[in-house]
Amino acid sequence: MNQEEFIKKLRDRLDIFEDNVIDEEVNHYVEEIEKQKNQNINEEQIIASFGNLDTIQKSIFKKHGINPSKVLKKEGFLYKKFEELFEVIHRVVDIMSKNSFQENIKILFDLLILIIFICLLKIPFILVRNLGDSLFTYTSIPLISEIWGILIDLIYIVIAVMVFVNIFTKWFKNLKVTKKIKGKALDSISLEDSKKDEHI
């Protein structure tokens, strides 16, 4: 996480405070980052040394006499999954902007395979829907067949989204970016490693 991302996320987490309190707390971290950057320490390492944003947020709340457990909303499973998805999407876009055209083609090909898999996942749902339709045609209420179709489609959408989110985040968080200088490749960095660095 770079300084700009860190400051934006920290400000978002402190939005219950007045602007002057937010500025004071954020400036404390900005000054610390600038101080350590002058000692030739990497920006990402400095931010990682602060701990994760949850810990920082809770300590600031306690400092101002606020009980974090009463203020902070409990984030559910779906919220965390989609937050992780959007973080990985952001990182993939960032990596694609640094990678070569051939590397980006590989990423797009992997994404296409994932989309094809999600489409193939629809086949058993089509079979179940058709089976239900053939059973319900003998009933005198045609509305049951329509409800059955809608129900099967909704179940497919939920399962397809969850499968896509899980596979995408696991598959693409280990994506590597290879930086090149005058034709020489430097070390590759995986998203998994960079995420670990952020939470140290």
Distance separating alpha carbons of residues 195 and 193, to the nearest angstrom: 5
Distance separating alpha carbons of residues 136 and 143, to the nearest angstrom: 9
Q: Secondary structure of the chain in the HEC alphabet?
A: CCHHHHHHHHHHHCCCCCHHHHHHHHHHHHHHHHHHHCCCCCHHHHHHHCCCHHHHHHHHHHHCCCCHHHHCCCCCHHHHHHHHHHHHHHHHHHHHHHCCHHHHHHHHHHHHHHHHHHHHCHHHHHHHHHHHHHHHCCCCCHHHHHHHHHHHHHHHHHHHHHHHHHHHHHHHCCCEEEEEECCEEEEEEEHHHHHHHHCC
Alpha-carbon 128 to chain mean position = 33
pTM: predicted TM-score of the whole model, two decimal places: 0.52
- Quote the pLDDT of residue 70: 64
Distance separating alpha carbons of residues 153 and 54, to the nearest angstrom: 38
Distance separating alpha carbons of residues 58 and 65, to the nearest angstrom: 11
Q: Tokens in use for 116?
A: 């094809």
Do the beta carbons of residue 58 and residue 68 sit within 8 Å? yes
Distance separating alpha carbons of residues 32 and 12, to the nearest angstrom: 19
Do the beta carbons of residue 1 and residue 46 sit within 8 Å? no
* pLDDT by position in tens, the chain (length 200): 778 888 888 888 888 888 898 899 899 988 988 888 888 888 888 888 888 888 888 888 888 888 776 666 555 566 667 777 787 788 788 888 888 888 889 888 988 999 999 999 999 999 998 888 888 777 767 788 888 889 999 999 999 988 888 888 887 776 665 554 444 444 444 444 544 444 44
